[in-house]
Structure 1
Amino acid sequence: MYKKIVFVLFFISSFASAQEIIKGIVTDKKKQPLFGANIAWQNSKSVTKTDENGNFSIEKSTEVSILEISYEGFETQKIIVSSVENLSIILKEVNNLKEVTISKTKKSTEHSLYKVANVQTMGQKELLKAACCNLSESFSTNPSIDVNFSDAVTGNRQIKMLGLTSPYILITDENIPSVRGASQAYGLSFVPGTWVESIQITKGAGSVINGYESISGQINYEVLKPFNDIPFFLNLYGSQDSRYELNTNFNHKYSDKLSATLFLHGNTRQSRNDMNNDGFLDNPIGKQVNILNRWQYNDAEKGWFSFFNLRYMNDEKQAGQVNFNPETDKFTTNAWGSEVNTEKIEISNKTGYVFPDMPYQSFGFQNSFQSHKQESYFGFNQYTIHQKSFYSNLLFNSIISNTKNKFTTGINVAHDQYNEAVALNFNRDFSRIDNSLGAFFEYTFDNLDNFSLVAGARIDQHNRLGTFVTPRLHIRYNPWNQAVIRASVGRGKRAANIFAENQQLFASNRNFSILNSDGKLYGLNPEIAWNYGVSFIQKFKLLGMSSEVVFDYYVTDFQNQAVVDIDANAQQVLFYNLEGKSFANSFQAEFSIELIKHLNFKSAYKYFDVQTQYTSVQLQRALQAKHRIFGNLSFETHIKEKGQQWKFDVTYNWLGEQRLPNTNSNPVGYQLADYSPSFAVMNAQITRTFSSTFELYVGGENIGNYKQNNGIVQSENPFGTYFDSSMLYGPVFGQMYYAGLRFKIK
C-alpha cells in the first residue's frame, strides 16, 4: 500500500504544472535575517512567514500586485510586484521599539512555532553562556539535553535525550551523520564549541532524509560559515583543574564568491587532580590538536553554492591511578592505568543548485569520508577500533502544483569498514564491513496559515540489517495566536556497536559475555524502536512580560534492543537480545519569562520512566534519575556606545535519586545502596565585554561542591575482583573555576 502511495505522489509531481512563485529574503538594515515576518498579498487573509534565514516563497497572485511585509517592531512595507523575481526586502525599525526588536531577533534559544517538527535552535549567544569547550559541554544551559559523566575514570561526558543515551540520537554535522559507530563514546568532545554557529535539537523521530538511525531525536550542529565569519578570532581558556585551551580562527575572503576559514584548536591538561581522595585522577591528563580548513563558494546569480571541509584531529588521554606511569606500569600490577589515543581524518563537501527561474526547485549533493582510529587499554583490558566510512546523499526538492505541496526525494549510500578487536576475558576480532543503499521520499503540506505536515518514508537495503522500510510523520497545528500543537510518530532501526558504545565498562574487572550468537551484529539482532510524541508551545504576555510555556510528552517503545545487563551479577556484563518490554516515557514542562528588560528566567521539570526487561525481572534503567529540575537565570546590561557590557548567567540542576546497579553479589564492604541520594549542581558565569572586539569571562561549575566519594568500587585494589568505576551518578571533582578571554578583529 505504501509503495502505491509513493508512486502516486511521484506521478503527480511529474505532471503537475507549477505556478509562478515569488521568492525573497527579509532583513533589517544590518542584513540580519528576520525570522517569522509576515508576507501577504494586500487584502488577503492567507499569510506565509519567513524562515530562520529570513527566506520566504509565495505564489504570485492573479488578483493583486501589492505585497505587504510586516514584522513586530518594524515599519510595514508595501511592494508592487510585476513579475516573478527574487526580492531583497529591508525593513526599518520603529524607534521606540528598537531595543525590544533586537532582543527578539537575537533570542539565544528559539522554539520554532512554524517548523513542523519539534525543533529548538541554540544560537551562539546561548553557547557563550558557559565555557562550552566542546560540543558535549554545550548543553549545560539547555533543559532538553541531560549531561552526565559516564564513569569515574575517563572524564567522558555522556548526553541523553528523552531518557536515552547518545547512540539513540542521530548527531549530524550540517545534516551529515557525524558522531556514530567508533566515535560514539568520545566524538562529542572532538568538536570544539567555538567552531559551532548554532545547534538544532529535534525531539522525536527525525526526517527520513537524514537516515533511519534516529530513534529519540536528532542533534544537528552548524559550523561557522566562511562568508559570515570575521577575519580573526581568538579564545583562551584556563581552569582550576589545569585544563588550558586555545582556539583561533583565520578567515579570508578571496572574492565575492569564494571565502575560507582556518580553525585551530588545542587543549592540554597535565596536572594530576584527586579531589575525592580515592587515589584515581578525577580527570584524565593529555592533549588534543584539532584543525579544520573550511571553504565556501556562493554564486547566487547562477544558483550554485558549495562547502568543502578538510579536518585532522589527534587526541591523547591518560587516566587511572595518580601514580600511574605508562612507561613502567602499563600492563603490570604496579599501578592501574588507561590510555585512549584517537586520530581522526575527515573530508566532506556539500554542493547545491537552485534553479534561477524556479526558486522552489533545487538539488543537493553531500559527501563525507571519515577515518576514526582509536587505540586504548583500561588496566589489562584492551580495545582497538578503526572505522573508515563513506557517506553520500543526493536529494532533489520541488513542488507539486504549488508551494503548499513540496517534496524532497533522493538516494544515499553508506559504507563502514570496522577493524575492531577486544582483549577482555576473551580475545576476539569483530572486524566487519557494513554497506547500505537507501531511497527516500518526503512530502510536505503547508496551508500557509495554521496547519502543516511532513510525511516521509525510506526503503533501505543493508547487508546486515536486511531490507526494511522506515516511515515518519510530523504534524503541526496553530490553534490560535502564538501557540502550536505538534505530534509525531516514526520508526528507527540501528546496529548497536556494543563495545564502542559502552567503553566505560572496560574500566572494571567485570567479565563480558554475549548470550546470543545467531544475529549478524556480534551475534545480536538490530535494534528497532517506535517513537511517539506530542508537544504544545504557547508564547504570551504575563503582566506585560514576554513568556513561554512548553509541554512535551514522548514514548519510545523498543521492538528489539541490544540489552546491556550489569544487574545480573556485579562481576559480569551481559549482552543479549530483548525478550520482553523496553520503553522510555519522557515528560517535560518548561516555563520561561523575561522578568524585566534583559533579565530572563527559564525553568523546567522532567520526568522519566525508563524500563527494560532483563533476564528475570523488569527494572528501571540504572543511573537514570526519574525526576529532574532545571533553572537558568541570565541578565545583560545595556550595551554602551563603545560596546561595553556585563553578562551574568546562573544555571541550577537538581537530580532525584537514581537506581544503582545491583551489587548484592559483592562482599558487604563493596556493596552499594539501592538508590543514590538526590543532589544539586549549580554553575555560573560572568562576562565583561570591554568593546566590540574584546571580552573576559570567569565562571564556576559545581559551585556547591557536591562530590560522589564512592564513584569507584574497590578503588584501593583496582586489580581485585570487585573493581568497578562505572557506578557514577554525580561529579567527583567538586568545585571547578575557570577564566578566559575572547578577542576579535572585525
Structure 2
Amino acid sequence: MHKIIIILLLLPVFMQAQETVKGKVLDENKQPLPGAGVVWENTSITTSTVEDGTFEIPYSTENMMLIISYVGYKTDTLHIMSPQYINHQLVPDNRVLGEVILDKTLASTRRSMVSATNTSTMGSRELLKAACCNVAESFETNPSIDVNFSDALTGTRQIRMLGLTSPYLLIAEENIPAVRGASQAYGLTFVPGTWVESIQVTKGAGPVINGYESISGQINYELIKPVNGDPFFLNAYAGMGGRYELNTHFTKKVSDKWSTSLFAHGNTRVGKYDMNNDGFLDNPLAKQINVMNRWQYIDAEKGWVSFINLRYMKDEKQAGQVDFDPDRDKFTTNHWGSEINTDKVDVSTKLGYVWPDMPYQSIGLQTAFNYHNQESYFGFNKYNIAQKSGYANLIFNSIIDNTLNKFAIGANAAYDNYDERVFIRFNANGSDYDRIDNSVGVFAEYTYDNADNFSLVLGGRFDVSNRLGAFATPRLHLRYNPWESGTLRVSAGRGKRAANIFAENQQYFGSSRSFNIFSAGGKLYGLDPEIAWNYGLSFTQNFPVFNKNAEFTVDFYRTDFQNQVVVDVFNSPRAVSFYNLDGKSYANSLQLELNYELTRHFNIRTAYKYYDIKTDYASLGSIEKPLQAKHRFFANAAYETHVHEGGKQWKFDLTYNWLGKQKLPYTGSNPAGYQMGDYSPAFATLNAQVTHSFSSVFEIYVGGENIGNYRQTNAILGANEPFGSYFDTSLVYGPVFGQMYYAGLRFKVK
C-alpha cells in the first residue's frame, strides 16, 4: 500500500501538459478504419487507429507532415500547422496490382509496448495455426496459457494462467463476462474458433470495468464484426478419431448503416477408439449444433454504434466403455457410461455513443441474457444444473482537461438463478443447491498516459452481493519505458469470487469418490468466498541480432490467497473434500520468453515457465498443487513463403511442449494394483501444420497433434472394475488418444 501512496504523490511530476493531434480515419463509406497507420514524416513517432477509427499522436512544432495509410487505400500526407482535431476520409486504391511481395508481415501475436496492462493479442493468423476448432483448443501456440486435459472421459481442454485454473480467470466475449457459473467446465468448447477475430490475454489482475472476479488474469475474445466479414466463408475439417466439423459464415450489408452475419457450426465425433486398450473410449462420441445471428449498426457522423447477438447451441456427449449403449445400459452395471447434454440460449446487446466533436468522450451500455441447461450422469452419479443469467454494464469515458488524463466511470449489475441437483452413487434423493445470486457495483478508473514513456491505470470498484457481502476491489497498473526499446510493467490487484464447487470440478463425478463438504457457515455450500491478491512485474526488451528483431520478456507474478476453497484429493483416494483454507496458499509464476525473427517470414518463439504453487491442506500441511508441472518449456517455429500473384502461399508451423513431472493425487492407501505413485513422468508433445493457399480465397491445410505419440497408458484407475471402490477418471496428466492427424479446407468469397 505504501508503494501505491508514493506513486500517487509522484503523479503530478509525470502530468506535464503535452499537446496532441487527435482525429478519426474513415473509409469511402464514412465507416471507421481500425488499424490505420498514423506517423509523423521522417520520425519514429507513430500510432494506429482503434476500433472506432480514432487516434491520438503527440504534436511538436518540429513535425508538420502527418502520413495516414491503410492497406488497399491511397496514402495521404496532411500538412499540420497546430494541435487540432482531424476527420479524414481515405480513398480506395483501385490500381490493378501485379505480384505483391510484403517485406514484413504483421506478427500473429503482439504485445503492446505502450499499454499499462501486460496484454498480448492473438490475431486471426495465430488462431489458424492449429486449425483450432473451438476457443479452448486455440491456445496451443500461446506460451502464456497452459492447456491440460481435465479428465480421461470428455477430452475437454482445461486452460490455466499463472498456474491457476480457468475459474480464477475472467473470460469475456467482447468484454461481457461469458464463461462463468454453470459453463465453467465446457464453456470455451462452445465457441467455434472460426467465429473469433482476435483474443486478448491479460496477465494478472485486469481492469475493474468488467467485474471483481478475475484473480490470475483476463481473456477476452472478439467475434468477427459484420461490417468487416466476408460475404461467405466455409471451413471444413476432418480428423482421426472420427471428428468432423463444418463452419459457415454469411455476411450481408443490409443498408448504409446496418450489417448482419449468420454463423453456423456443426461438429460430430462418430468413431469409437480405444488406443490404450483399457475398454474405455479415448474421446467421447459427440455432436454439436451452434448458430448465431449478429447485427451491427454504425452511424459514424452521428456517433452511434450498436451490436445485437442471438445464439442457440446444443451439445451432446457420450463417454464411457466402448460397449456402452445408453438405451440399454444407463444406470445399470452392464457397462459404465456417461452422457452430458447441454442447451444454451444467449442474447447480448451493445449500444455506444461517441460525441462527434469530442471523440475522446463516449458512453456505452452492454446487456446479456443467458440460459444454460446441462443434464448429465457419470455411471450412477448424476449432475444437473440450469442457470438463468442477466447482466448489464454502463460505462462513461471522458478526459480531465486533456487527453493525457482519461477516466471511466460506470455501474453494473448481475443476476444468476441456479437450479442445481447432485446425486452421488445410489443416493436417489440427491441434494438440491438451488439459489439466486445477485450483485450491484460501481467503478471508476483513471488513466494517465503521456503518449511517450509512462502510463498509469488506477481503478477501484465497490460491490454489494447477497452472497459475498459489501466489498471494495482496488487495481493498479503501471507502465514505464526507461529507454525506447524497453518496457517495464507493474501491477497489483484484489479479486473475490464464490466457488461453484460442483460445476468447476465435474471431473470428479467420473469416479467412485465420495464428495465431502466441511461447512464454514458461508452462504454458498456452507463455504466462505475466495479472496486473493495478485502482484506482477514484467519487463520486455527489444533488440537486434544480426539485423533481425528479437524480443525478450521476463514475467513474475505472485497470487496470495487470503481465503480459498481447497479441493483436497490428498487425504483419501476415495474422496474429494471441499473446505475453506486454514493457513497459506500461494502461486508463484516465472516466465522467460524469447522471440526472434530468424529470417524474413521465419519467426521462432520460445518460453520457459517455472511454477511454485502450494496450499496448506487440513492435517497434511503444505503440499504442491496436483497435476501441475513445475517446469515447462515451449517452442514455436513459423515460416511463410512470399505471397505470389493471385495469393499463392505456403505456411509451416511447428509447436513443441515439454512438461516436467507432476505431483499426483494420493493413491497410496489403495491396493498395489490401483496405485499411481507420487509423480508422473515428464513428457513432450509435438504439433505441426502445413497450409497451402491456392489463391486469396481458397486454401487447404494438413496437420498432426502429438506426433511423437505419447500416451498416458493408465489414464483410468480401476478401468477393469468401473463400479468398484477404486475407479477414477480424474488422474490425467497427459494425452490419452496418442497421435492425431487432420486435414481441412477454407474457402471464402470476398
Q: Give me the TM-score of the superposition, normalised by structure 1.
A: 0.93
- The 5-angstrom pairing of residues 500-515 of structure 1 reads 500-515=503-518
Question: Paired residue for 1:68?
Answer: 66
Question: Paired residue for 1:558?
Answer: 561
Instruction: Give CA deviations for 1:8-41 in whole Å, capped at 9, x if unaligned.
Output: 9xxx9xxxx999963234999x99755774459x
Question: Paired residue for 1:652?
Answer: 656
The SS at the match of 1:411 is: strand
1:683 aligns with 2:687: yes
In structure 2, stretches of 5+ residues that fail to align are none
Contact 1:18 1:400 in 2 (8 A): no
Question: Paired residue for 2:108?
Answer: 108
Rounded Cα–Cα distance in structure 1 between residues aligned with 2:47 and 2:116: 13
1:476 aligns with 2:496: no
Rounded Cα–Cα distance in structure 2 between residues aligned with 1:663 and 1:445: 54
| Aligned pair partner of 2:595 in 585, 592, 603 | 592
Question: Paired residue for 1:192?
Answer: 192
Displacement after TM superposition at 1:132 (Å): 0.3
Question: Paired residue for 1:734?
Answer: 738
Rounded Cα–Cα distance in structure 2 between residues aligned with 1:64 and 1:542: 32
Rounded Cα–Cα distance in structure 2 between residues aligned with 1:742 and 1:66: 45
Contact 1:395 1:410 in 2 (8 A): yes
Rounded Cα–Cα distance in structure 1 between residues aligned with 2:662 and 2:596: 31
Rounded Cα–Cα distance in structure 1 between residues aligned with 2:89 and 2:479: 29
Contact 1:582 1:612 in 2 (8 A): yes
Question: Paired residue for 1:386?
Answer: 386
The SS at the match of 1:478 is: strand
Instruction: Give CA deviations for 1:282-339 in whole Å, capped at 9, x if unaligned.
Output: 0000200000000001000000000000000000000000000000100110010000
Q: Residues 90 and 33 (structure 1 numbering): CA distance in 2 closer, same or farther, change over 3 Å?
A: farther
Displacement after TM superposition at 1:271 (Å): 1.3
Instruction: Give CA deviations for 1:250-301 in whole Å, capped at 9, x if unaligned.
Output: 1111122110000000000111110011110000002000000000010000
Contact 1:635 1:647 in 2 (8 A): yes
The SS at the match of 2:358 is: coil
Rounded Cα–Cα distance in structure 1 between residues aligned with 2:37 and 2:736: 45
Contact 2:534 2:558 in 1 (8 A): yes
Identity %: 60
Question: Paired residue for 2:293?
Answer: 293
Question: Paired residue for 1:178?
Answer: 178
Rounded Cα–Cα distance in structure 2 between residues aligned with 1:284 and 1:72: 46
| Aligned pair partner of 1:633 in 613, 632, 637 | 637
Letter in 1 for 2:305: F
Question: Paired residue for 1:164?
Answer: 164
Q: Residues 204 and 39 (structure 1 numbering): CA distance in 2 closer, same or farther, change over 3 Å?
A: farther
Rounded Cα–Cα distance in structure 1 between residues aligned with 2:535 and 2:49: 26
- The 5-angstrom pairing of residues 483-632 of structure 1 reads 483-616=486-619, 617-632=621-636
Q: Residues 581 and 299 (structure 1 numbering): CA distance in 2 closer, same or farther, change over 3 Å?
A: same
Rounded Cα–Cα distance in structure 1 between residues aligned with 2:23 and 2:75: 20
Question: Paired residue for 1:140?
Answer: 140
Instruction: Give CA deviations for 1:548-584 in whole Å, capped at 9, x if unaligned.
Output: 1111110011000010001100001100000111111
Contact 1:683 1:699 in 2 (8 A): yes
Q: Which runs of 4+ in 1 moved over 6 A?
A: 17-21, 70-76, 89-92
Displacement after TM superposition at 1:185 (Å): 0.2
Contact 2:24 2:32 in 1 (8 A): no
Question: Paired residue for 2:410?
Answer: 410
Letter in 1 for 2:688: A
Q: Residues 136 and 253 (structure 1 numbering): CA distance in 2 closer, same or farther, change over 3 Å?
A: same
Question: Paired residue for 1:344?
Answer: 344
Rounded Cα–Cα distance in structure 2 between residues aligned with 1:532 and 1:38: 35
Q: Give me the TM-score of the superposition, normalised by structure 2.
A: 0.92
Question: Paired residue for 1:373?
Answer: 373
Rounded Cα–Cα distance in structure 1 between residues aligned with 2:608 and 2:70: 31
Letter in 2 for 1:274: D
Rounded Cα–Cα distance in structure 2 between residues aligned with 1:703 and 1:26: 47
Letter in 2 for 1:528: I
Q: Residues 484 and 26 (structure 1 numbering): CA distance in 2 closer, same or farther, change over 3 Å?
A: farther
Letter in 1 for 2:402: N
Letter in 2 for 1:555: R
Contact 2:25 2:49 in 1 (8 A): no
Q: Residues 19 and 448 (structure 1 numbering): CA distance in 2 closer, same or farther, change over 3 Å?
A: closer
Letter in 1 for 2:487: V
The SS at the match of 1:421 is: strand
Rounded Cα–Cα distance in structure 2 between residues aligned with 1:745 and 1:175: 29
Contact 2:35 2:70 in 1 (8 A): no
Rounded Cα–Cα distance in structure 2 between residues aligned with 1:695 and 1:404: 45
The SS at the match of 2:647 is: coil
Contact 2:701 2:744 in 1 (8 A): yes
Name which of structure 1's ranges 18-27 and 211-220 shifts more when overlaid on structure 2: 18-27
| Aligned pair partner of 2:48 in 50, 53, 61 | 50
Instruction: Give CA deviations for 1:393-439 in whole Å, capped at 9, x if unaligned.
Output: 00000000100000000000000000001011552100100010000
1:434 aligns with 2:437: yes
Kindly report the root-mean-square deviation, in angstroms, between the aligned alpha carbons of the 2 structures. Answer: 2.9
Contact 1:653 1:680 in 2 (8 A): yes
Contact 1:134 1:189 in 2 (8 A): yes
Instruction: Give CA deviations for 1:454-506 in whole Å, capped at 9, x if unaligned.
Output: 00000000001000000000000111122211010000001100000000000
Instruction: Give CA deviations for 1:199-235 in whole Å, capped at 9, x if unaligned.
Output: 0000000110010001000000000000000100001
Contact 1:367 1:390 in 2 (8 A): yes
Contact 1:141 1:632 in 2 (8 A): yes
Instruction: Give CA deviations for 1:654-688 in whole Å, capped at 9, x if unaligned.
Output: 00000001111211111111100000000001111
In structure 1, stretches of 5+ residues that fail to align are none
Rounded Cα–Cα distance in structure 2 between residues aligned with 1:260 and 1:270: 33
Contact 1:26 1:55 in 2 (8 A): no
Contact 1:21 1:358 in 2 (8 A): no
Displacement after TM superposition at 1:595 (Å): 1.0
Question: Paired residue for 1:303?
Answer: 303
Contact 1:654 1:678 in 2 (8 A): yes
Contact 2:36 2:70 in 1 (8 A): no
Displacement after TM superposition at 1:66 (Å): 3.4
1:448 aligns with 2:418: no
Rounded Cα–Cα distance in structure 2 between residues aligned with 1:473 and 1:52: 23
Rounded Cα–Cα distance in structure 1 between residues aligned with 2:63 and 2:732: 65
Q: Residues 18 and 25 (structure 1 numbering): CA distance in 2 closer, same or farther, change over 3 Å?
A: same
The SS at the match of 2:277 is: coil
Name which of structure 1's ranges 480-489 and 222-231 shifts more when overlaid on structure 2: 480-489
Contact 2:18 2:450 in 1 (8 A): no
Q: Residues 615 and 223 (structure 1 numbering): CA distance in 2 closer, same or farther, change over 3 Å?
A: same
Q: Residues 725 and 65 (structure 1 numbering): CA distance in 2 closer, same or farther, change over 3 Å?
A: closer
- The 5-angstrom pairing of residues 221-370 of structure 1 reads 221-370=221-370
Rounded Cα–Cα distance in structure 2 between residues aligned with 1:347 and 1:115: 31
Displacement after TM superposition at 1:107 (Å): 1.4
Rounded Cα–Cα distance in structure 2 between residues aligned with 1:99 and 1:443: 44
Rounded Cα–Cα distance in structure 1 between residues aligned with 2:103 and 2:34: 12
Displacement after TM superposition at 1:643 (Å): 1.1
Letter in 1 for 2:687: N
Rounded Cα–Cα distance in structure 1 between residues aligned with 2:63 and 2:712: 68
Name which of structure 1's ranges 376-385 and 80-89 shifts more when overlaid on structure 2: 80-89
Rounded Cα–Cα distance in structure 1 between residues aligned with 2:76 and 2:547: 23
1:670 aligns with 2:709: no
1:692 aligns with 2:719: no
The SS at the match of 1:479 is: strand
Name which of structure 1's ranges 77-86 and 18-27 shifts more when overlaid on structure 2: 18-27
Equivalenced residue count is: 727
